[in-house]
Structure 1
Amino acid sequence: MQSASDAIRLLAVRDTPLSLDEVYAAVGDPAAGGIAVFVGTVRDHDGGAGVDALGYTAHPSAEDEMRRVAEKVVASHPVRALAAVHRVGDLVVGDIAVIVAVACAHRAEAFGACREMIDDLKREVPIWKHQRFSDGTEEWVGAGG
């Protein structure tokens, strides 16, 4: 098994549009038989209310916390390669907010590791979502910390 530093190929919090091609290329590995990719996008509703737009804000420690989560995933799954990027700033419906990709020797392992990475990222990394609803109301949602 390779080290976490070898398996973790890309981690970033960015205020520019995210690239699925970049993340997919980062996890390319000749020993991987399966690559699982999760792409989170801004949807037009939440909890029955229409969403017009939203913004993400990250704590300065967000990338360090993302690395901690990634290292935990790599330690508990046979990961060949892992990449995760999260957007900050103002986004509109349809924009990509987060991309996670994990390459493993087998598809079941890739799915499991990818799911753990996105679930733990959302739960533990200090990134917050500010939603603006069609009815003029707004809400902050903790996507971590």
Structure 2
Amino acid sequence: MKGKTPPSLEDPMSAEIATGITDEPLDTGALIDSARRDTCGAVASFIGVVRNHDGGESVDAIEYSSHPSSQQILRDIVMEFKDRPGVHRIVAWHRVGYLEIGEDAMVVVVAAEHRAQAFRAVEAIVEDVKAKLPIWKKQELTDGSHNWSGL
């Protein structure tokens, strides 16, 4: 993956984290594999994929743009979860730029001691990213028009 991954935290009582915003295709398999830990019995993930429709309209592609602070905000969001009991590793990456139907736009992975811990953390992180991360989506519609969301 061409994006830079910030160094992991060294505090053994906190989860290691890796976050990134990139205009390169996400290597989803590598991101999931990077979360695995021998101390964890569960790895849960969310993969946001560009779909071909939204709100009853046909979509051809999406272009994501981001605020310059997006990388730090994504890291801050993930940092809020690093001290959750049982969570050992959190990986969260988001694409920007032009994405075609079927491409992965966001990947969030949590490795935890137990599945419930991993599932809860993934869901909460995804919801926070959707609510707080300043990334905007321009959808190119099949009829030639476009619309924006996240503004």
Q: Tell me the residue number matched to 1:105.
A: 113
| 2:101 is equivalent to residue 93 of structure 1 | yes
Shift of 1:142: 0.8
- TM alignment of 1:17-56, pairs within 5 A: 17-56=25-64
Aligned residues: 141
Q: Residue 90 of structure 2 aligns with which residue?
A: 82
2:19 to 7, 11, 14: 11
Return 5+ residue gaps in structure 2 as ranges. Answer: 1-10
Identity %: 36
CA shift at 1:77, angstroms? 4.8
Which deviates more, 69-78 or 108-117?
69-78
Residue 38 of structure 2: SS of its match in structure 1? Answer: coil
Q: 1:37 to 1:16 in 2, by over 3 A?
A: same
The alpha-carbon deviation at position 2 of structure 1 amounts to 3.5
Q: How far does residue 26 in structure 1 lie from its aligned partner after superposition?
A: 1.8
Unmatched runs of 5 consecutive residues or more in structure 1: none
Amino acid at match of 1:128: W
State the Cα distance separating 1:74 from its structure 2 match: 1.9
How far is 1:91 from its partner? 0.6
TM-score by length of 2: 0.87
Higher helix share goes to which structure?
1
Distance 2:68 2:148 in 1: 18
1:4-62: per-residue Cα shift (whole Å, max 9, x none)? 4x521x21100010011221122111111100011111000000000011100011111
